[in-house]
Amino acid sequence: MSVDTATVAKIAALARIKLSEAELAAMVPELNGILAWVEQLGEVDVTGVEPMTAVIENHLRLRDDVINADPLTGGDNRDGVLANAPVAEHGFFGVPKVIE
């Protein structure tokens, strides 16, 4: 499968990366080169093979339902959460107005 300019433009839009015409044009052959190369995976017979889920034998741990059990992953941290915000006002993050 190879991609054309329109497809790359669609993918870039989906990934929210604005590309200039020139960047777009340059990206098409690069992506096609990489895609053509990864497509050799199609040669592998994977009949009956399950996709990898956990690379090392391990089980998903569940945590107890306790508020702020670890301050690093708890709330009550508005200043910390907003500290690096490009725009923060009245305790909120600010973004350009969204019309729903």
Partner 1 sequence: MMSANLTELGVAAIRDGVAKGEFTAVEVAEAFNANVAAASALNAFIVATPEKALEAAKATDAKRAAGQPLGKMGGVPIGMKDLFATKGVQTTAASHILEGFTPQYESTVSQKLWDAGAGMLGKLNLDQFAMGSSNETSYFGNVISPWRRNDGGNAALAPGGSSGGSSAAVAARLAPAATGTDTGGSIRQPAAFVGISGIKPTYGRCSRWGIVAFASSLDQAGPMARDVRDCAIMLEAMAGFDPKDATSLNLPVPEWEAGLNGDLRGKKVGIPREYRMDGMDADVAASWDRGIEWLKDAGAEIVDISLPHTKYALPAYYIIAPAEASSNLARYDGVRYGLRDLPDGAGLQDMYAATRAAGFGAEVKRRILIGTYVLSAGFYDAYYTQAQKVRTLIAQDFKNAFTQCDVILAPTAPTAAFGLGEKSDDPLSMYLNDVFAVPASLAGLPAMSVPAGLNREGLPLGLQIVGKPFDEQGVLNAGLAIEARAQFSAKPEKWW
Partner 2 sequence: MSNYRIQGATGEWEVVIGLEVHAQVTSQSKLFSGAATAFGAEPNTQVSLVDAAMPGMLPVPNRECIRQAVRTGMAINAQINKWSRFDRKNYFYADLPQGYQISQLYHPLVGEGTIEVILDEKDPEGSTKTIGIERIHVEQDAGKLMHDQHPTMSYVDLNRSGVALMEIVSRPDMRSPAEAGAYLAKLRQILRYVGSCDGNMDQGSMRADVNVSVRRPGEPFGTRTETKNVNSVRFVMAVVESEARRQVGVIEDGGQVVQETRLYDPDKNETRSMRSKEDAHDYRYFPDPDLLPLELDDAFLEECRASLPELPDAKRHRYETALGLSPYDAAQLTLEVETFQQFEEMLDAVVKASGKAERDLAKRVANWLLSERAGVLKGIDQGAAHPKNTVAANVALIVAANDGVISGSKAKEIFAAYLTSDIDLAAEIEANKQTSDTGAIEAAIAKILADNADKVAEFKAGKEALFGFFVGQTMKAMQGKANPQVVNELLRKALA
Residue numbers at the binding site for partner 2 (CB under 8 A): 10, 14, 16, 53-54, 58-70, 72-78, 80-82, 87, 89-100
3-state SS class at 83: coil
Q: Which burial class, exposed, middle or buried, applies to 31 when counting CB atoms under 10 A from its CB (0-12, 13-18, 19+)?
A: middle
Q: Binding residues for partner 1, how many (CB under 8 A)?
A: 57
Residue 22 binds: one of partner 1, partner 2, none (C-beta under 5 to 8 A by kind): none
Q: Which tokens go with 9? A: 């433009």
Neighbouring C-alpha atoms within 13 Å toward the C-beta of 49: 6
Binding site for partner 1 (CB under 8 A): 1, 3, 7-8, 11-19, 27, 30-31, 33-35, 37-44, 46, 49-52, 54-58, 60-61, 63, 70, 72-73, 77, 80-81, 83-87, 93, 95-99
